[in-house]
């Protein structure tokens, strides 16, 4: 055991006075604090330097400088190394080894940009930006075309009222085949399923909605339906005013019907409740064929105005989109294909 007796003024030297053991850091400290007063001890003698310091302090401070009965703490710092621990440590050369093992995994770094959500949006043009672009023209060599549709495979079907037939043409306009109606005139047509087409014989428009053929009736006036499978008839509305040459179409739970006598287009739901009505007897004279694009815009062929009018989805406004400068003359039928982005007339 090594012991150092010191006062507070030279306690900072205690650590340096303890001899070092090579390769060994002290692990046990024991502090012994002793309290005694100089009242019980003889007055310490002062060296020459200490006397001079005491004298100088006396001159600066009028208060007498003396030890009197003041109390000073004295302490002892001791370091003790246990013999057993020292013997053990002296025999230990290596405490152990540290090794690093690399284990591969399936994790991989992904660029932050590639983790961003990919949002796919459909760009919808504003009402004012929509224009029609001519895709193709051909001579149908037909008399009085009153109805038309585009089939899913791109072919086109036309009802020829004067020829009493349904004419099928290829996507480029060339003839494919035709079906004649001996007794009745073919007025309008609609797609039932895949390549199945229904034709109205008379003077009324027709549209197929989920297996129900919906058509305009004149006597009595109203909107009626016939089930394709059961041929059961039903009445949808008797309050919608239709005429002898009224056309009808359907889009997203809404019907749209034209009335050529009062120059109106009416939108109503499947219960017969009117949603909106648009009337224009100047730019939409004698509205006939009607169709709706994927954005809900309504296209109307106006026979006496020699144009096509586009009405907004809510019926609040309209504009002329094609006219006689584009070669139109008394248009009666048009169709907006859901298989293409641009309506074709």
Please, which residues have CB within 8 angstroms of residue 317's CB and are 6 or more apart in sequence? 127, 311
The token pair that represents 51 in the structure block = 């006397």
Q: State how far the Cα of 157 lies from the Cα of 337, in Å rounded to an integer.
A: 12
CATH level 3 topology of 130-326: Neuraminidase (2.120.10)
Q: How many residues does the chain have?
A: 345
pLDDT at 22: 47
Q: How far apart are CA 73 and CA 37, in angstroms?
A: 8
Q: In what helix (H) or strand (E) does residue 39 lie, and over which residues does it extend?
A: none
Copy the structure tokens of residue 299: 């296209």
Coil, helix or strand at residue 308: strand
Q: What does pLDDT average to in each consecutive run of 10 residues of the chain (345 residues)?
A: 43 44 43 41 47 50 45 61 69 68 64 55 70 81 87 92 91 92 90 91 90 89 92 89 90 94 94 94 94 93 95 94 90 76 39
Domain boundaries, the chain: 2-91, 130-326
Using a cut of 0.85, tell me whether the model's pTM lies above it: no
Whole-number CA gyration radius for the chain: 53
pLDDT number for residue 9: 43
CB 169 within 8 A of CB 175: yes
Q: What is the pLDDT of residue 230?
A: 93
Distances from the Cα of 266 to the Cα of 120, 204, 279, angstroms: 34, 16, 9
């Amino acid at each position: 055991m090594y012991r150092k007796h010191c006062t507070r003024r030279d306690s900072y030297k205690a650590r340096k006075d303890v001899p070092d053991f090579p390769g060994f850091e002290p692990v046990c400290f024991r502090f012994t604090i002793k309290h005694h007063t100089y009242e019980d001890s003889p007055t310490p003698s002062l060296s020459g330097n200490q006397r001079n310091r005491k004298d100088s302090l006396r001159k600066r401070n009028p208060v007498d400088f003396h030890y009197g009965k003041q109390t000073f703490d004295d302490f002892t710092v001791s370091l003790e190394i246990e013999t057993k621990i020292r013997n053990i440590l002296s025999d230990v050369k290596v405490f152990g080894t540290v090794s690093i093992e690399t284990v591969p995994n399936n994790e991989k770094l992904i660029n932050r940009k590639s983790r961003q959500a990919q949002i796919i949006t459909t760009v919808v043009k504003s009402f004012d930006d929509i224009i029609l672009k001519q895709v193709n023209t051909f001579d149908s060599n037909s008399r009085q075309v009153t109805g038309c549709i585009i089939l899913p495979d791109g072919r086109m079907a036309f009802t020829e009222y004067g020829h009493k037939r349904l004419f099928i043409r290829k996507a480029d306009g060339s003839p494919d085949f035709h079906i004649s109606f001996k007794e009745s005139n073919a007025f309008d047509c609609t797609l039932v399923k895949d390549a199945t087409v229904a034709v109205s014989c008379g003077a009324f428009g027709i549209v197929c909605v989920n297996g129900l053929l919906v058509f305009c009736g004149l006597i009595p006036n109203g909107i009626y339906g016939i089930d394709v499978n059961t041929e059961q008839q039903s009445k949808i509305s008797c309050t919608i005013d239709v005429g002898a040459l009224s056309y009808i179409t359907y889009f997203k739970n809404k019907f749209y019907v034209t009335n050529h006598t009062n120059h109106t287009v009416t939108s109503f739901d499947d219960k017969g409740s009117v949603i909106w009505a648009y009337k224009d007897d100047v730019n939409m004279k004698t509205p006939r064929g009607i169709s709706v694009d994927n954005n809900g815009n309504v296209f109307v062929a106006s026979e006496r105005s020699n144009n096509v009018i586009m009405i907004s989805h809510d019926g609040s406004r309209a504009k002329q989109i094609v006219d006689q400068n584009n070669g139109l003359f008394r248009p009666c039928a048009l169709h907006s294909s859901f298989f293409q982005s641009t309506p074709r007339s």
